[in-house]
Structure 1
Amino acid sequence: MHVALGYAGPPAWTLSRVLGSWQLEPAVVTISLVAAVAYLIGVVRVGRSGVGRSGGGSWPLQRTVAFFGGLALWIVVCCSGLGVYERYLFTDRAVQAVLLLMVVPLLLALGAPVSLLVQALPERLRPRLEAALAGRVSRVLMFPLVSTVVLIVPPWLFYFTSWYQNSLTSSAWNIAFHLGFVAFGLAYFWPRLQIDPVPHHYHPLLGVLITIAEVIFDAALGFVLVFGGHLLASHYWDSLHRPWGWTPEQDQKWGGAVLWGLGDIAGVPFMVALIIRVVKEERLRTRAVDEELDRIEQEAASAAPVTVASTSGSGTGSATGSATEADKVAPAAPVAVPEQPETSRPWWETDPRLAHRYGSARDAED
């Protein structure tokens, strides 16, 4: 068995080792635990106050499941075998990048934590939070173009600046990667899903168009990493002396393919969420239009004049009086009835273009 001198990393990558290896990422675990406790407190407060959106005041269960699923996935990505091998395989880091930027924030945003916070806060504090959410800073950060840039640009900055190599050698930069990508993803999915309060409301179809543009940029990043011919952090990989797995060049190509393919796959749940939202909004809009039309018809029917033939009182008068009144009624003028066109003849006898051929014969018979 060949063992390279100076290599002090984990053994060869296998699925069982990835599933069975764990490490502690204090920042991620601490933030996740605090967020979980705060979320549970909010759910309890909403349930007690009875201001929830469903279940007679209870917070929707699917929101809670989505939020805790996002926290659990965040811990798994950073503390499981994916975190153990993140500094030894380019592909491993690429998987982390997709999950931290696209999947974890999506699940957290589906949990609607801001809406929960608004409902759980005391009445006196809600106006302040709502004012902050509708303020100028929020309007700028949540503008569709800005939120799209927040999602597209970080992967390019990560791989094509010193951030990537620093994350391989510095714990602080690595933590910035674990936290920053989730923060960027939240800044994107929050205004795009529009589940939580946002200053800008726009049609979900615009989100579909933006998503198509994002797919193009993701594909471009993967294309550059696969076919660019330039090895990122080459000095680090040369000094690592990893004795197993792909060569650094092969590893980067596979990592670029992961960013390309897995990034598109990870965007499918978001597209599904957008489509579901489009369908729901169209149903609500159709229902509102139908209700408005029904209201207009009812108002028109109630405003229409109602003619009631009232004969009570006049029928009890004397015969003489009735005759007198009848004499006063002028006879109705004859109504001119327009002459109805003859319809018994065949059409070719009444057609102006053919009447001169067939009409004379018919007239002769008559």
Structure 2
Amino acid sequence: MTTAPAPTSARPWWVAALAVAGAVCALVGVAFSGAVLAPVLRDPGAVVRWGLPATSTLTELAGSVTLGALVLAVGVLPRRVANDRRAGRPSARFGVADGSAYPRSLVVAAWAAGVWTVLAIVNLVLEYATVAGTSPTASTFGSQLGLFVTQIPLGRTLLFVVVVAALVSGLALVSSTPTGAAWATVPVLAALWQQAQLGHAAGAAGHSLAVSSMVVHLVSAAVWIGGLAALTLVVRRLGADIAAAVARYSVIAGWCYVGIAVSGLVNGVIRVDGWDDLLTRYGLLLLTKVALFGVLGVIGLAHRGRVVPRLVADPARRGLFWRLVLVELTVMGAVSGVAVALGETAPPVAEVPPPDPTPAYQLTGHPLPPPLVAVRWFTEWDWDLVLAFAAGAAIVVYLRWVWRLRRRGDSWSWARTASWVVGMLLFAWATSGAPNRYGHVLFSAHMVQHMVLAAVVPIFLALAGPVSLALRALPVRSSLLAGDASRGPREWILVLVQSRVGQFLAHPVVAAVNFVASMIVFYYSGLFEWSLRTGVGHYAMVVHFTLVGYLFVNGIVGVDPGPKRLPYPQRLLLLFATMAFHAFFGVTLVGGDALLVADWYGLMGRTWGPSAIADQQAGGAITWGIGEIPTLAVAIGVVYAWSQDEERAARRRDRKVAREGDLELDEYNAMLARLAERDSDDRGTHPGA
């Protein structure tokens, strides 16, 4: 395949169409909604009223370009390493990697983060001026702004975004590898998480669902918009790499489209009560956004279905790519602008808290749920869109990998596939069903959630062998593009599995100790309260205990790669030790009279169910029961695997004996004959002995 020359008609300035369209549509949208009309009292001025929507749009776009450029560096753009032995290997699809655009993407991320920092500062000033109804030119504005960013949650959040943007700018400048780029994306995601808690999501009915859906929405939109914008900024250096880069980005864009569609639908359902609400100003803006989003989806499908195959066939044909980029960026900017206008427009559903909130509402942000009876374990739901979306995506990806294996003639166990689906459905129920709805109210319900995530779900996940399937189904980067040292999903999995940290944490003994010790540290420290009061703490709990449980079970009965597994007797000892700990921990809770997180569960104000301490003791019994039953099932599985291994070893020995004879038995008989002959000679030499 020939290398395409650098394009002479590339126009990176087309990226400006995104910013211009976004700012213009934001201004038009807020003008239509009436949000920029001068208030009767405390008008901050026309500059603030018109400047805040435009600045908010530009701030979000700068953050999106930052995240998009980092995503390109993490796993999209081809990368070359000096003296790479794979550089001359022929490729079956894309040719030989150039890699010139890779360092450029990190430069783009650093510059975009710098612009993001400046715009975030301006946005912070204008936001406070709007909230306080004070012009930035007022003599007391500076001192009041200092109190705003140190004492008020909104101000602290906006200041956090400024600090993150500045930090990411520095990290991107010093990074040169996919690992460094991956670390730089972490604070960006943290900033998006904080941003999701602002605006209407903070006060909407179903606060947790609104926030989690906004997280999915913001991350998906930022990766999609920013990734395409960053791709256009580095296109001059892509050369023949453009085909591989566009193909990889298109897969990510498809997932982002699904994430935006699902989260947008959830946000719309939360904020409208009926069809009549669609005729309000908020409803009309929502319908406009839906229409623009539909157009964008059609363009995305055309982009993937027409542009990618043509670029793979001939990377020099870039005219169609640039025309689609122009239209797609423009529509993206329009959608972003309308989204900002929606954020500035009051939705039909009232977002004010109840006039007389209950203690449960003050603590959790939700009214107290109805009494927990048996049927409500399956009928009550409190959806967490981040975790539900992750579970759904995991099922889809796993099934696609299985289909890919079968399409090329390889097989994969249907039992393992069913195990994965069941495990993910249980994960979704534990994180979005009754355990999640009642877990913030009842300690016993929280323990059901915890033990299902830590002891039940990991069994199904480990038996499904997701890592083994991924390593078989995912393509190797260097087989598609010769000399490509970038990391795709398969390469990232290998990095995590083969790293020293990964090998250490996956060791069966370490995993067992981690499984045991982390429960003690979690419940007898401030981490438990952190998980109850913050979304980040809750997600950290879910991810940690699910992952630790998977590593422990995989080291005992799993099939995925990892450190050398212990002999079967030691595996059983490890399991029995874990069972003993669960029994001890459960008995401690059952017999204890000190309430964990007393200023949470003790102040819930429940008028139904047992007292807080009685419920905690019931949670101890649940810990004992749910912890022991799955562990016993795993122990039975170990015994069964042990017997099967012994039978396989016996069959192998029988086949070897049938093929070669029993050499060991023959040698043993020969040794006995030599000993007998030697004893006979000794008696002949010494007849009186």
Residue of 29, 44, 48 corresponding to 2:403: 44
Q: 1:279 to 1:127 in 2, by over 3 A?
A: farther
Q: 1:277 to 1:103 in 2, by over 3 A?
A: same
> Structure 1 residue 162 and structure 2 residue 162: aligned?
no
Number of the residue aligned with 2:89: none
Kindly provide the amino acid, as one letter, of the partner of residue 164 in structure 1: F
Number of the residue aligned with 2:460: 107
How far 1:299 sits from its partner (Å)? 8.7
More displaced, 123-132 or 19-28? 123-132
Structure 2: distance between partners of 1:186 and 1:135: 17
Q: 1:186 to 1:83 in 2, by over 3 A?
A: same
Structure 1: distance between partners of 2:589 and 2:567: 34
Unaligned 5+ segments in structure 2 are 1-356, 361-366, 480-489, 665-689
SS at match of 1:239: coil
8 Å contact kept, 1:167–1:177:
yes
Kindly provide the amino acid, as one letter, of the partner of residue 258 in structure 1: I
Structure 1: distance between partners of 2:647 and 2:425: 34
Kindly provide the amino acid, as one letter, of the partner of residue 32 in structure 1: A
Number of the residue aligned with 1:73: 426
More displaced, 87-96 or 144-153? 144-153
How far 1:188 sits from its partner (Å)? 1.4
Structure 1: distance between partners of 2:584 and 2:611: 23
Q: 1:129 to 1:249 in 2, by over 3 A?
A: closer
How far 1:144 sits from its partner (Å)? 2.1
Residue of 176, 179, 197 corresponding to 2:543: 179
8 Å contact kept, 1:28–1:178:
no
8 Å contact kept, 1:46–1:58:
yes
Residue of 139, 157, 170 corresponding to 2:503: 139
* Structure 2 length-normalised TM: 0.40
> Structure 1 residue 238 and structure 2 residue 602: aligned?
yes
Number of the residue aligned with 1:58: 411
Number of the residue aligned with 1:280: 644
Residue of 260, 265, 271 corresponding to 2:624: 260
Kindly provide the amino acid, as one letter, of the partner of residue 390 in structure 2: I
Number of the residue aligned with 1:312: none
How far 1:110 sits from its partner (Å)? 0.7
Kindly provide the amino acid, as one letter, of the partner of residue 45 in structure 1: R
Cα distance per residue 1:156-201 (max 9 Å; x no partner): 1221111212222222212222222111111212222241122313
How far 1:5 sits from its partner (Å)? 5.4
Number of the residue aligned with 2:633: 269
Number of the residue aligned with 1:338: none
8 Å contact kept, 1:90–1:252:
yes
Kindly provide the amino acid, as one letter, of the partner of residue 46 in structure 1: L
Number of the residue aligned with 2:371: 12
How far 1:130 sits from its partner (Å)? 5.8
8 Å contact kept, 1:139–1:200:
no
How far 1:14 sits from its partner (Å)? 1.3
Structure 2: distance between partners of 1:151 and 1:18: 27
8 Å contact kept, 1:18–1:81:
yes
Q: How does 1:291-330 map to 2 (within 5 A)?
A: 291-297=655-661
Q: 1:298 to 1:107 in 2, by over 3 A?
A: closer
More displaced, 116-125 or 244-253? 116-125
8 Å contact kept, 1:71–1:104:
yes
8 Å contact kept, 1:133–1:199:
no
8 Å contact kept, 2:465–2:558:
no
Structure 2: distance between partners of 1:298 and 1:280: 23
Number of the residue aligned with 1:35: 394
Cα distance per residue 1:127-163 (max 9 Å; x no partner): 9966864553343222221111121122212211112
Q: 1:5 to 1:131 in 2, by over 3 A?
A: closer
Structure 1: distance between partners of 2:662 and 2:457: 50
Give me the CA root mean square deviation: 2.4
Structure 2: distance between partners of 1:129 and 1:295: 42
SS at match of 2:429: helix
> Structure 1 residue 96 and structure 2 residue 467: aligned?
no
The percent of aligned pairs where both chains have the same amino acid is 27
Q: 1:292 to 1:133 in 2, by over 3 A?
A: farther
- Pair member with larger Rg: 1
Unaligned 5+ segments in structure 1 are 51-56, 301-366
Q: 1:132 to 1:288 in 2, by over 3 A?
A: farther
Q: 1:244 to 1:298 in 2, by over 3 A?
A: closer
8 Å contact kept, 1:67–1:108:
yes
SS at match of 2:359: coil
Kindly provide the amino acid, as one letter, of the partner of residue 16 in structure 1: V
Q: 1:174 to 1:298 in 2, by over 3 A?
A: closer
> Structure 1 residue 205 and structure 2 residue 558: aligned?
no
8 Å contact kept, 2:439–2:446:
yes
How far 1:119 sits from its partner (Å)? 1.1
Cα distance per residue 1:48-70 (max 9 Å; x no partner): 222xxxxxx32110000000100
Structure 1: distance between partners of 2:613 and 2:652: 58
Structure 1: distance between partners of 2:581 and 2:495: 35
Q: 1:15 to 1:194 in 2, by over 3 A?
A: closer
**Which structure is richer in relative contact order (CA contacts within 8 A, separation 6 or more)?**
1
Higher relative helix content = 2
SS at match of 2:661: helix
Kindly provide the amino acid, as one letter, of the partner of residue 85 in structure 1: Y
Structure 1: distance between partners of 2:559 and 2:450: 24
Q: 1:130 to 1:287 in 2, by over 3 A?
A: farther
Structure 2: distance between partners of 1:173 and 1:73: 21
Structure 1: distance between partners of 2:493 and 2:447: 37
